[in-house]
Amino acid sequence: MGLPAATAFGFDRAGQPAALYVLQNARGLRAAVATHGATLVSLWAPGRDGAFADVTLGFDDVAGYESADNDWFGCTVGRYANRIRGARFVLDGTAYDLTANDGPNHLHGGGAGAFANVAWRAAAFARSGERGVVFTHRSPGGAEGFPGTLDVEVTYTLTDRNELRIEYRATSHRPTVVNLTNHAYWNLAGAGRGDVLGHVLTLFASRMTPIDDALLPTGEIAAVAGTPFDFTAPRRLGERIPPWDFPGHGYDHNFVLGGAPGELRPAAHLVDPQSGRSLTVHTTQPGLQLYSGNFLRGQRGKGGVAYPRRSALCLEAQHFPDSPNQPAFPSTTLRPGEIYQHTTVHAFGVEQEGARR
C-alpha cells in the first residue's frame, strides 16, 4: 500500500489550505486526520453484523472546526489540556498569566494559539502493517501566555491490529508546563445515533480527583468505591450519572489510573451492547478524563447530523487538571534538555451479544 494521500479539507480563516489524510488498514478500519488542529475527524469501525460506522464526532471541512459549534471535536489539545485555575501558575518563582477562556480560568490551551486552532505540518508514512501521519508544530514563546518555544510532534498510526496509536513528543528551550491529549468524542453506535447512556464502561481507576463548581480539582484524591464514579467493574454510563446540578453536570472528572505512569497500561474499556463495537484505551499517562458530553447542544456535524446532549463521551488520557497549581499532583513541568513524551492506544473490537452488560 502506498503513502496515505492528502485531500482538500477547505481553507481556514487565515486562507491556509487544510488537508485530510485517510488511513486504512488491511481489515477495513479507516481513520481520517486533518492538519487543522492535528485532528481526528473520523474513525470507521465494524460492528457485530460486519457493518461499519463512523464512531467519532466531527465536521465535513475546516469551516466547521473554526465555528462556534466545535466543542474541541477530535483535536490535539495543548499546550495544556483541561483547566488551570485563575489562568495563572508560578514556575521557578515567576508567575505566568494565561489566556482566560473559561470564565476566569484557562481551558485546553486558550484561544488562537491553542493547538486545536492552528495549522500543523504533516508527513504521511507507510510501513509493514502500519499507516500514519506525523504532525509537527512550533509554538512560540509567550503563545497564550506560556513560556518557552515548544516544538511538538503528534503521530497517528493505524495498525492492522485495529489499533489507532497516538504518540506525543515535545521539547522546550525554557522551563514550561505541558499536558497534551486528544479530545475525540466517541459513540460506538455511530456518531449522531442516539445517546451513549447505554454504553458499558470500565475504568481501570480506583481513585479520582473531586471538582468544585468551576470544574477544577479541589486537590483531594478520593476513592471511587461506593460512589457514582466507580467503574472498576463494567457499568452502563447512565446507571448512576450525577444530576445536572452536580459539579460537572454529569461526568467531567479526572480519574487516577492504576499502574505506573510512563508504562503503557489499560485505562478504559467501552462497549456498545447493541452493535457490539468495543474500544479499549491504553496509555502511559497518569490520568483519564471522563466527559459525558453534557454540553453538546444539537449542533450539526458531518453530513448535517445533529449531536445532542450526551450523544458521545470523551476518554481523554492526560495529566491531572490544574497540576501546575497542585504540588501533590504529578508534575507537568518540562525543562530544557528534557523530552515530554507519551502514548495512547485506541484498540477497536467486536463483542458478542450479552458481553459486558
Known catalytic residues are 183, 316
Query: In degrees rounded to 5, what are phi and psi of residue 85?
Result: -65, 135
Size (the chain), residues: 357
The string of DSSP letters for 261-310 reads: TTS-EEEEEEE-TTT-EEEEEEESSSEEEEE--TT---EE-GGG-EE-TT
Whether the bond into 79 is cis, omega within 30 of 0:
yes
Which amino acid would we find at residue 163?
E
Q: Are 182 and 74 a contacting pair, CB within 8 Å?
A: yes
Distances, alpha carbon 36 to alpha carbons 41, 65, 154, 208, in Å: 10, 8, 13, 32
SS3 104: coil
- Which residues, other chains included, contact 93 with Cβ-Cβ below 8 Å and sequence gap of 6+? none
The count of other CB atoms within 10 Å of the CB of residue 31 is: 26
- Within 13 A of 61's CA, how many CA atoms are on the CB side? 10
> Scanning the structure block, which residue is given the C-alpha cell 481489515?
27
Q: Are 173 and 150 a contacting pair, CB within 8 Å?
A: no
Between CA 94 and CA 210 the distance in angstroms is: 28
Q: Are 36 and 115 a contacting pair, CB within 8 Å?
A: no
Between CA 159 and CA 165 the distance in angstroms is: 8
> Scanning the structure block, which residue is given the C-alpha cell 481523554?
316
Q: Taking every pair of C-alpha atoms in the chain, what is the biggest distance, in angstroms?
A: 59
Among the listed residues 102, 120, 116, 119, the one whose alpha carbon sits nearest the alpha carbon of residue 72? 116
The count of other CB atoms within 10 Å of the CB of residue 104 is: 10
